[in-house]
Amino acid sequence: MSILNILRYPDPRLHKVAKPVTVFDEKLKKLVADMAETMYDAPGVGLAASQVDVHEQLVVIDVSETNDQLQVFINPEIIWSSDERKVYDEGCLSVPGIYDDVERPAEVKVRALDADGKPFELHADGLLAVCIQHEMDHLKGKVFVEYLSPLKRNRIKAKLQKEEREMNKKAARR
Ligand code: GNR
Ligand code: NI
């Protein structure tokens, strides 16, 4: 298994639209395992393939306290969402250190395939519902900061670009 590099906002590759998975083979299983390892290592509660520069419709999520309830969603579709909305203070591994409120449907029903290509449906609420919608946005090339005001988004962009420059300077000195 390997830990994959997570793209950081405002990397333009985060805005690519992911294509459906069509082949369910060992290579896909390896990608799922590497994405799970990368998510647990980060640590995060979810990871979309787009974040590791693989532009295929694949998401891993584990919202359990014990980190032993991995859920894999391939080619996910939201087939129902509640009229009720909830605000959640979201974060993102591609936008490190930034948290802000995002309003989304409180509950969703999702249809997806598992790592073997077998279809399943799931009704989600709470953090799982937030996470599924956040990850599916990544697959569409959307990062949660795009829900914030342009002023906030530009401040976040500037802060992360500055951090990136500092990181690159440090790396060059070594
Ligand atoms: O680890 C994560 N935590 C989180 C918290 C609130 C709302 C969404 C998330 S998802 C995030 C991991 C991530 O960036 N997934 O794309
Ligand atoms: Ni994210």
Q: For 123-136, what is each residue's pLDDT tens digit?
A: 999 999 999 999 99
Give the pTM: 0.98
Average pLDDT on 3-23 reads 98
- Protein residues whose CB sits closer than 6 Å to any atom of ligand 1: 44-48, 51, 88, 90-94, 130-131, 134-135, 138
Average pLDDT across the chain, whole number: 98
Average pLDDT on 115-119 reads 97
Largest CA-CA distance found in the chain, in angstroms, rounded:
53
3-state SS class at 36: helix
Percent of the chain topping pLDDT 70: 100
Task: Please state the φ and ψ torsions of residue 121, each to the nearest 5 degrees.
Answer: -125, 150
At residue 148 the predicted structure's pLDDT band, cuts being 50, 70 and 90, is: very high
Ligand 1: which of 64, 130, 134 to mutate, judged by most atoms within 8 Å of the beta carbon? 134
Q: Under 8 Å CB-to-CB from 36, ≥6 apart: which residues? A: 47, 60, 62, 70
Q: Could you list the active site residues?
A: 135
Is the pLDDT score of 174 beyond 90? Answer: no
Letter for the amino acid at 38? T
